[in-house]
Amino acid sequence: MQTSTDASLADRPPLPGSEAPPVPLGYHDDPVPGVGRRRPRAQFSSDAARLSLNGDWAFTLADTAAGTGPGFADPDLDDGDWGRIDVPSHWVLRGHGDPLYTNTAFPFPITPPHTPTANPTGDYRRTFTLPAGWRREGAVLRFQGVDSCAAVWLNGVELGHSKGSRLPFEFDIGPALREGTNVLCVRVHRWSSGSYLEDQDMWWLPGIFRDVELLERPAAVDDVYVHADYDHRTGAGTLRVEATDVDGAPVLALVDVPELGVAALPAGTATTIDGVRPWSAEAPRLYRGTVHAGGERIELAIGFRTISVAEGVLRVNGVRVHLRGVNRHEHDPDHGRAVSVELMRRDILMMKAHNINAVRTSHYPPHPEFLRLCDELGLWVVDESDIETHGFIYAGWEGNPPDDPAWTPALLDRTARMVERDKNHPSVIIWSLGNESEGGAGFAAIEAWLRDRDPSRPLHYERDRTYAQSDFYSLMYPSLDDLAAIAERTEETPEALAENAELEHRRRALPFLLCEYAHAMGNGPGSLADYQEILESSDRMAGAFVWEWIDHGFRGRTPDGVEYLRHGGDIDYRPNGGSYCIDGLVRPDRVPSPGLLELAKVLEPVRFDVDADGITVRNHYDVLDTGHLAFTWELARDGVALAVGDMVVPVLAPGEQTRVELPEAVDLGAAGEGETWLTVSARLAQATPWAAAGHEVGWGQGQLAQHARPRTLSQKSTPGSDGSTVLSRAEPAASADPGTLAVGAAVLDTRTGDLISLGGLDVSGLRLDIWRAPTENDRGQGELNNLAKVWRAVGLDRMLHSVTDVLIGDGGACVRARLAPATQPFGLDIAYTWTAGSGPTAPPADDPGEVTLTVDVTPYGPWHDVPYGHHEVTLPRLGVRLGLPAAVARATWFGLGPGESYIDSLTAAKVGRYAQSVDDLGFEYLVPQETGNRHRARWLELTGADSPGLRVAGSPTFDFTARRWSTEALDAAKHPHDLHPEDRLYLHLDLAQHGLGSSSCGPATPDRYRVHPEPTRFALTFSTMFQPQKEQ
């Protein structure tokens, strides 16, 4: 261990926000960030006394910023008739008004820095007893978060005020603190000048929503700054711990890190330690230590790591890292941003279990406990300042605070409070200057202060398209084509840099960080695998963050007591962001969406390619080798396991790959009919702090063989010259009902062409169907992406089905029909051809009642949104739907599963045999929409306790959806509780569905995932399962 003393410790740069009281009139409207507060400093734990002031407070709400008047802070005031409120909380979630949600719009006039006269203001009072023996001198009162502005009194003494809702502030309270009983009074304004900096696509939730604490502070150490660098070339770590007093001056303190042999190291002295284990998100190694002075021991959690941005690549500890991240707002469905530590831990465990390794704290610093957990459990963190002025877009950005020098102290104040609080967290590797606030001199001032205070971390800011203050080129929601150009460094020059060659040269050399993409609103996002392929194609790509982690819904009840989760549109006010806050990968109750499962698969740190010649295993970890994993395989034919076993894989270093031979058991699948698939898996060999042993981190699957059954062309039909099935007109076949015709398992009405029954199952309404209940992404942002609007405008949601002819031939029938919307000159001509047996393409079965339906679809007319002709009209889906008896209750299928899958969201689905209740096939999105599709099914069996079963086979595959309400009912519902089971089961059998995309905030769905009106044929074979099966 080598030790050296830094005799020239640089002075700490000055910090804003240390003005002295008293509180001026109109303080809530003044851009000044605060008065009377202490200098910001690091969050740490020590053995000094601490008293939580969370709990039950007296509370009353007034309509204006005057609150209940000047007398509310009198310690002798009788507040016995006041209401009570729990702290931390938001008063709008405790029965005092409503929460408000806007996306970009300010819910008040844009007249900065002024706020409306109607300004709900909460007056809080808390009486507490100072513990005996408490050292009052140097005592500190800390608020971790108050929205949006707080003025504070203790025992009638004015302490000061503060703005910056998601940031801590402290007061020295020694002179005002009394032995025995004390009265703390806080006035909180819903709106303040600070609100102009907090337009962050979230609920506006006022109140004291984070912890309130009384701290005993010994006179010696007020702040600590841990510098723990790692040299990847030597494996050595360098440790230096600064200890400063209340004025920022160095103090005499000693540092101990027993595990490293560091004892009584003077603060400010650097020491080099050989053989340390560096900190990373994959291996979050922390060394515990203390710094002690003045009788106090302050705890340290030290993670050695060095961050660099060089040659266009982000590296940590010399290793290129890829951020596989999510954006995270703080949200609890009952408590808003008053999130418990237990829920923070649950979020992190879920993220890691789904292969997420990074989080962007959108759009403000999180509760400090969240970062402590990221240090311990391992997540890379982009820590974002509490700054967003998005609503100024409605003013043409005139008066935007970052471009107004009067606001620069407020911007600096927010940045300093974030940086000083969070500077010792090894998980924090990037500082983000804010979000969607355009540019201005204010950000230049922030950058200058940050570069001086913490040169160890790179900076990120996306919205200033010169990127003059950013170490990353960054965008939100690019198309796949645009992202591919960025990966190749062939992207177009931003307009802001068209005449600035020097800055453009700098920007083009920067690594790229995709700070928001894959808007996870409702069913989706689609194309996650496509994005990830590009993101991993170039070292320039530092990573990406899905928008966003969680739906911001609040638990509520209908008038008749039904519990549901509310969104912004459920609150009656304007402006209103509607359901735009329901855009997460997990529901508010932390139920993972299908989109999260897809993301987990796409982000797997171990990947497999399986084919008939062997298995390729790739290690996509940035830091870890594969020595902590166990590998297994399973061989199955048509979804039925034939053999399982362990797989020996040599330990792979990060980025390495190897080829593994197939297990000998694959010979078992070489004979016999059906599809043979080999599935391989990588699982944790031992438990970790974030998952149990056996947790799967990656899997792969490949088809080894397919032995098809013989297929023959039915002799009861003749192919026409155009490929369609031709039947001549003939007399109906003999039947008990002269108006019906039996074709295999099907019974048709010869007059209308309607299907009446299938193998004894009453069937209704079989017809071509092109409509789905639009997803949130179908209702995309902007005219070009709002497909649902186009679809409805041309009438795809109310298509008229007209039978034009019924042809009956020897053993078959052809029903000709037309599907078209009112008003429009386009539509679809359809031929439904029923033939007994397996038909021309479907494999035959033993059941003589088997029947094949071949559907020929021919579009006619101009498929544009006439009379304007702005868009080609695509189809939401293409298939048939029918109604079955409600007794049908269970689905068993062979194909992709177990969860829902769509053409652009199927990576997480495995080929296998699955069985589920039909009630469990869909996912309960908070806003009802298309759900429950199973892609590429080979066959499907539907059974019920008191009903014959129905089997459907594809030629070769089909998509299916089954649910207890119609598409029309699903489309009309506003919430899940609006949906009620009907007297039938609605079965959709589709050739195709439009992709999911992420157009709710993002690019259009790629053309290859759209369904275009073009001549199409598909076939389905139906047969009856004559032995009803009991529901399991």
Helix (H, G, I), strand (E, B) or coil at 526: coil
Residue linked to tokens 């999105």? 925
Strand partners, 224: 243
List Cβ neighbours of 755 (8 Å cut-off, separation of 6 or more): 746, 747, 748, 749, 763, 766, 882
Return d(Cα 1006, Cα 994) in angstroms, integer: 10
Name the catalytic one among 420, 462, 516, 900: 516
| CA 308 from centroid of its chain's CA atoms | 28
| 3-state SS track over 708-756 | CCCCCCCCCCEECCCCCEECCCCCCCCCCCCCEEEECCEEEECCCCCEE
List Cβ neighbours of 182 (8 Å cut-off, separation of 6 or more): 75, 127, 128, 129, 130, 154, 155
Return d(Cα 1032, Cα 1025) in angstroms, integer: 17
Q: How does strand 323-327 pair with strand 358-360? A: parallel
Candidates 347, 54, 393, 361; CA nearest to 202 is 361
Return d(Cα 419, Cα 432) in angstroms, integer: 10
Return d(Cα 938, Cα 940) in angstroms, integer: 7
436 is catalytic: yes
Return d(Cα 287, Cα 290) in angstroms, integer: 10
Return d(Cα 589, Cα 332) in angstroms, integer: 8
Please, are residues 32 and 410 in contact by the beta-carbon 8 Å criterion?
Answer: yes
Rg (CA), the chain: 33
| CA 704 from centroid of its chain's CA atoms | 35
Return d(Cα 383, Cα 390) in angstroms, integer: 19
How big is the chain, counted in residues? 1032
What DSSP state is assigned to residue 457? S
In degrees, rounded to 5, the angle at the alpha carbon of residue 695 between the alpha carbons of residues 694 and 697 is: 125
Candidates 985, 978, 977, 984; CA nearest to 932 is 985
Candidates 422, 476, 595; CA nearest to 201 is 476
Return d(Cα 438, Cα 441) in angstroms, integer: 11
Candidates 558, 555, 563, 553; CA nearest to 584 is 553
Name the catalytic one among 216, 282, 384, 436: 436
Catalytic residue positions, numbered? 436, 516
